Chain A
Amino acid sequence: MGSSLLFTGAEWSYDALARAYETIEPIALGELGLEIYPNQIEIITAEQMLDAYASIGLPLMYNHWSFGKQFAYNELLYRKGARGLAYEIVINAVPCVSYIMEDNSMAMQTLVMAHAAFGHNHFFRNNHLFRQWTDAEAILDYLEFAKSYIARCEERYGSRAVERLLDAAHALMDQGVNRYHRKRRGGIRWVEERERARLRYEEESYNDLWQRTVPQGAPHSQAERGGVRQERAALDLPEENILYFLEKNAPKLESWQREILRIVRQLAQYFYPQKQTKVMNEGCATYVHYRIMNRLHETGRLSDGGFMEFLHSHTAVIFQPDFDDPRYSGINPYTLGFEMMRDIQRICEEPTEEDREWFPDIAGSGATMEVLRDAWAQYRDESFVLQFLSPALIRKLKLFALSTEEDDTHYLVNAIHNERGYQKIRKNLARSYDIALQEPDIQVVEANLSGDRTLVLHHQVYEGRRLEDEDAAMVLRHVARLWGYPVTLVEIDAVSGATWRRHHSSYPDD
């Protein structure tokens, strides 16, 4: 038996990595039926891992102080020993890049490959959100372009100016995504060429005489242009993507500034699917590595010692502290995702009466992998929970739902893990993964271009949840800085239409 082991001892080697990969591959592609991008595995040091953390996990990133802050923060925690580093980081690109750390043992490297190079990779390639919203083929090229473009801007316009612009753009990142439609799947590659062409054209066609002597044309009065309604139509208002709106319409921005806004917006869009699929993505990777590692152990390719090591880190990853535990910091997406997927397997293979009632389509079908692959491709966290969270799992995790009103001094327990509570808990949990509900709904509604150019934003207030004042004021200053004219934000109740509150910033005057 010993000779069939993939490796012995803790040290990893390139040979062992290749052997492990070749053994995992048929399990993942055959038994689990995964479909993946080509893999690229990169070995890095702890310090490089910290670097990668700092730049939101991307291999290359433009420079900004906030990444330095992240680095300082993580470094401090790491040096103190308060926090270990992730074993891997994986990038949604073609080829799919997985970073693994040099200090991992060989058992860990095997786990990491199963987790990242197959689990995450399959998810990136198949989930509809990633397919629809991100361009895995081009992301690395685009980052390269973004980094060098911003570096050139720093040289040309000064790092202060670029920093201020990036500060403002970062503040609006959450409002920089298209949520419901994608105008054009234009691919990202041509952006660079377009920008070059734009600059070249400006430089070639610049004519001082023309600029100074030809009258600019009398401004049209509002009446002439048909009033607010027409203006709103022209600007395509209301617009929820504030960064996009500013990039296209802010009167005072120069073209390099617009391009930088665009870069930040593209990044926000790139990360948007990840925000919506944290539970599923991690669940998928964890489920896949669990199946693969078990199979390796069963077939005698992984020693008992290696398997124990795997179980040790696996249980650490899916550990879910109770709500009253000091370590509690929300529901662990690894736990929820993994448990739900295991639960689906149970329902497909050994269903109870209850399961048959709740999941008539899949209970007892035996087609675990078909169901899972379909879920991984078609769902996001919110819909996944809504569809697949079973009473059995609610009981296992002892989930309960709370709510409270603004002026209430108590929480009310709405539902617990019993017959009457299942549906409610399921619905509430799903809700908490719905980004559209969790993030403030803010839109540009009016620009008043022919008047004083005050930009008006509306925040739709649901259930009385208003914006945090201080942050709102700061972000608003950033908006005003980009827009170049005063900005007003009105918080309007989504149901009654009443105004809760107004924020105003007339930067740079205030």
Chain B
Amino acid sequence: MRVIDRRQNPQGKSLANRQRFVRRVKRQVAEAVRQASAERSIRDLADGEQIAIPSDSLREPRFRHDGKTGRQQGVLPGNKEYKEGDRIPRPSGGNGSAGREGSPDGEGEDSFGFVLSREEFLDIFLEDLELPDLMKKSVTRSEQMSFQRAGYATSGTPSNVNLLRTMRNSLSRRIALHRPRTQEMRALEERIQLLEAEQPEDPELEELRAKLHQLRRRQKEIPFLDPIDVRFNRFEAVPRPITQAVMFCLMDVSGSMSEEMKDLAKRFFMLLYLFIQRRYRHVEIVFIRHTHHAEEVDEETFFYSRETGGTIVSTALEEMRRIIRERFPPADWNIYGAQASDGDNMTPDGPQVASILEQDLLPISQYFAYIEVSGGVGELLRTQSNLWQTYAPFAAAHRNFAARRVAKRGDIYPVFRELFTPEPQGS
């Protein structure tokens, strides 16, 4: 008998099968994911999700008997009261207990449930969305460099010596030049000692001594390690892409924003967060709420506490500008802005908003999205809001600015997709 420990074998042997499986059901999964996103909270969605998909596409058909046809017979255990000749009503709906056929893996149900990993989920959820093509700009602007391995060099600092390469060169050089090996010389020395002790007169002794002398000389001439053997790891400086991003969530919390509208806004923010998080190693979020004055708050306060007051949007933009100046130098950070509001703003504030956005924020931001949330009935009849009128010209003039209206939960995901679906080339 042999016992073999296989536990260290590579895990995830069925990963390839899983990928094939997910690929096969992609369309159905995407549909299920979309539905889930309309119904559940975004945060829960992001952690791997159990989803159910129609099992049609997964059906593995076989030729099999239809349990409803023909004569059925079977033997069952555990008889309690039946006697020969008894008649037992057949359960309606066909497949009774005798001659039960079912599908072989016992999943004759209408749907097939399984758990998507977080990665798989987000892959499908955010499939083919792209951040606007603005990252490159900031990459080239980046002044930070990092070092990358780039082959080997013949010069360098001692700490970068590549031992393996060096010793390999040394070995091949020694072999090529027939450098005498230490063992060989030791054997010779021993032989000489032996002869000296036993037959000091032997003429062979002289010969051996001469040979040893020659070998020693040769060993000295051909060094064990020559400077030409030495190799160093070479490093190259490459500009380091900025892998951190900050996302500003701006929201109007004045009385006119209902809970429902805030909920819509929250969903949008969360989606954006998920999305950005996948593109950057490190993402910070700053929450700024405003009425007629603005302040930075934590998430809880941002979404759930109420404030009273008028509405001056420019205060929030100013706050954002201030925070960027203090904490997020644009050279090191990718900056995203997302603003949600019901569109109310004090009329005289318009020019101020426009100027801050245009001159200070848009040039340093990767993207700025404005979502106008409106609640329920009668909203279709609404005329253009103050803020919408202010923002409308920007959407046309700047590629990194977008404004959209959202009225119900179901709109969020489509609008989001619309914002981030890459435009066809040349448009």
Question: Taking the complex as formed, is B1 at the interface, i.e. its CB lies under 8 A from any CB of chain A?
Answer: yes
Looking across the interface, which residue of chain B has its beta carbon closest to that of A472?
B63
Looking across the interface, which residue of chain A has its beta carbon closest to that of B3?
A41
Q: How far is the CA of A461 from the CA of B82 in the complex (A)?
A: 31
Interface readout for B58-91 with A: 1 if CB under 8 Å, 0 if not? 1111111111111111111111101111111110
Question: Taking the complex as formed, is A320 at the interface, i.e. its CB lies under 8 A from any CB of chain B?
Answer: yes
By the criterion CB–CB under 8 Å, are A102 and B7 in contact? yes
Question: Taking the complex as formed, is A412 at the interface, i.e. its CB lies under 8 A from any CB of chain B?
Answer: yes
Q: How far is the CB of A418 from the nearest CB of chain B, in Å?
A: 7
Q: How far is the CA of A397 from the CA of B77 in the complex (A)?
A: 6
By the criterion CB–CB under 8 Å, are A400 and B14 in contact? no
For B114, give its contact among A75, A159, A462 (CB under 8 Å). Answer: A75
Interface readout for A77-115 with B: 1 if CB under 8 Å, 0 if not? 001000000000000000100010010000000000000
Question: Taking the complex as formed, is B134 at the interface, i.e. its CB lies under 8 A from any CB of chain A?
Answer: no
Q: How far is the CA of A6 from the CA of B61 in the complex (A)?
A: 50
By the criterion CB–CB under 8 Å, are A322 and B3 in contact? no
By the criterion CB–CB under 8 Å, are B71 and A464 in contact? yes
By the criterion CB–CB under 8 Å, are B63 and A174 in contact? yes
Contacts of A439 in B (CB 8 A): 63-64
By the criterion CB–CB under 8 Å, are B73 and A18 in contact? no
Q: How far is the CA of A415 from the CA of B87 in the complex (A)?
A: 12
Question: Taking the complex as formed, is B97 at the interface, i.e. its CB lies under 8 A from any CB of chain A?
Answer: yes
Question: Taking the complex as formed, is B44 at the interface, i.e. its CB lies under 8 A from any CB of chain A?
Answer: no
By the criterion CB–CB under 8 Å, are A413 and B114 in contact? no
By the criterion CB–CB under 8 Å, are B4 and A468 in contact? no
For A474, give its contact among B59, B75, B78 (CB under 8 Å). Answer: B59
By the criterion CB–CB under 8 Å, are A73 and B114 in contact? yes
Q: How far is the CA of A470 from the CA of B63 in the complex (A)?
A: 10
Q: How far is the CA of A38 from the CA of B3 in the complex (A)?
A: 12
Interface size on B, residues (CB 8 A): 67
Q: How far is the CA of A117 from the CA of B23 in the complex (A)?
A: 39
Q: How far is the CB of A421 from the nearest CB of chain B, in Å?
A: 6
Interface readout for A441-465 with B: 1 if CB under 8 Å, 0 if not? 0100000000000000001011111
For A403, give its contact among B23, B63, B73, B86 (CB under 8 Å). Answer: B73
Question: Taking the complex as formed, is A270 at the interface, i.e. its CB lies under 8 A from any CB of chain B?
Answer: no
For B90, give its contact among A323, A409, A466 (CB under 8 Å). Answer: A409
By the criterion CB–CB under 8 Å, are A471 and B64 in contact? yes
By the criterion CB–CB under 8 Å, are A465 and B76 in contact? no
By the criterion CB–CB under 8 Å, are A40 and B21 in contact? no
Question: Taking the complex as formed, is B190 at the interface, i.e. its CB lies under 8 A from any CB of chain A?
Answer: no
With contacts A331-B77, A402-B76 taken as known, whether A461 is within 8 angstroms of B70 at the C-beta atoms is yes
Q: How far is the CA of A146 from the CA of B407 in the complex (A)?
A: 56
By the criterion CB–CB under 8 Å, are A398 and B80 in contact? yes
For B73, give its contact among A173, A320, A331, A402 (CB under 8 Å). Answer: A402
Question: Taking the complex as formed, is B300 at the interface, i.e. its CB lies under 8 A from any CB of chain A?
Answer: no
Question: Taking the complex as formed, is A352 at the interface, i.e. its CB lies under 8 A from any CB of chain B?
Answer: no
Question: Taking the complex as formed, is B379 at the interface, i.e. its CB lies under 8 A from any CB of chain A?
Answer: no
For A170, give its contact among B7, B60, B78, B79 (CB under 8 Å). Answer: B60
Q: How far is the CB of A279 from the nearest CB of chain B, in Å?
A: 13
For A43, give its contact among B4, B66, B88 (CB under 8 Å). Answer: B4
By the criterion CB–CB under 8 Å, are B69 and A406 in contact? yes
Those of B1-58 within 8 Å (CB) of chain A: 1-7, 9, 11-14, 16-24, 50, 58
With contacts A54-B14, A65-B23, A467-B63 taken as known, whether A70 is within 8 angstroms of B7 at the C-beta atoms is no
Question: Taking the complex as formed, is B360 at the interface, i.e. its CB lies under 8 A from any CB of chain A?
Answer: no
Question: Taking the complex as formed, is B107 at the interface, i.e. its CB lies under 8 A from any CB of chain A?
Answer: yes
Q: How far is the CA of A400 from the CA of B17 in the complex (A)?
A: 43
By the criterion CB–CB under 8 Å, are B90 and A410 in contact? yes
Q: How far is the CB of B116 from the nearest CB of chain A, in Å?
A: 9
By the criterion CB–CB under 8 Å, are A401 and B73 in contact? yes
Question: Taking the complex as formed, is B115 at the interface, i.e. its CB lies under 8 A from any CB of chain A?
Answer: yes
Question: Which secondary structure characterizes the binding site on chain B?
Answer: loop
By the criterion CB–CB under 8 Å, are A400 and B62 in contact? no
Contacts of B88 in A (CB 8 A): 402, 410-411, 413
With contacts A40-B1, A55-B14, A413-B87 taken as known, whether A440 is within 8 angstroms of B71 at the C-beta atoms is no
For B107, give its contact among A64, A73, A95, A330 (CB under 8 Å). Answer: A73
Q: How far is the CA of A462 from the CA of B70 in the complex (A)?
A: 8
Question: Taking the complex as formed, is B280 at the interface, i.e. its CB lies under 8 A from any CB of chain A?
Answer: no
Question: Taking the complex as formed, is B399 at the interface, i.e. its CB lies under 8 A from any CB of chain A?
Answer: no
For B76, give its contact among A71, A323, A421 (CB under 8 Å). Answer: A323
Q: How far is the CA of A38 from the CA of B76 in the complex (A)?
A: 39
Question: Taking the complex as formed, is B98 at the interface, i.e. its CB lies under 8 A from any CB of chain A?
Answer: yes
Looking across the interface, which residue of chain A has its beta carbon closest to that of B19?
A68
By the criterion CB–CB under 8 Å, are A43 and B7 in contact? yes
Looking across the interface, which residue of chain A has its beta carbon closest to that of B5?
A43
Contacts of B76 in A (CB 8 A): 323, 331, 399-402
By the criterion CB–CB under 8 Å, are B3 and A401 in contact? no
With contacts A65-B24, A406-B68 taken as known, whether A420 is within 8 angstroms of B84 at the C-beta atoms is yes
By the criterion CB–CB under 8 Å, are B84 and A76 in contact? no
Looking across the interface, which residue of chain B has its beta carbon closest to that of A325?
B78
With contacts A43-B5, A65-B20, A416-B84 taken as known, whether A440 is within 8 angstroms of B74 at the C-beta atoms is no
For B18, give its contact among A71, A322, A478 (CB under 8 Å). Answer: A71
By the criterion CB–CB under 8 Å, are B22 and A66 in contact? no
For B77, give its contact among A14, A79, A399 (CB under 8 Å). Answer: A399
Looking across the interface, which residue of chain B has its beta carbon closest to that of A428?
B75
Question: Taking the complex as formed, is A425 at the interface, i.e. its CB lies under 8 A from any CB of chain B?
Answer: yes
Contacts of B99 in A (CB 8 A): 404
Looking across the interface, which residue of chain B has its beta carbon closest to that of A409?
B90
Question: Taking the complex as formed, is B414 at the interface, i.e. its CB lies under 8 A from any CB of chain A?
Answer: no
By the criterion CB–CB under 8 Å, are A48 and B75 in contact? no
Q: What are 8 A-B contacts with C-beta separation under 8 Å? A: A43-B7, A45-B11, A65-B20, A65-B23, A69-B112, A323-B79, A399-B77, A418-B84
Q: A68-B18, A72-B18, A404-B99 are in contact. List 6 more A-B contacts (CB 8 A).
A: A17-B3, A65-B23, A404-B90, A412-B86, A425-B75, A468-B64
Q: Which residues of B contact A (CB under 8 A)?
A: 1-7, 9, 11-14, 16-24, 50, 58-80, 82-90, 96-101, 105-107, 112-115
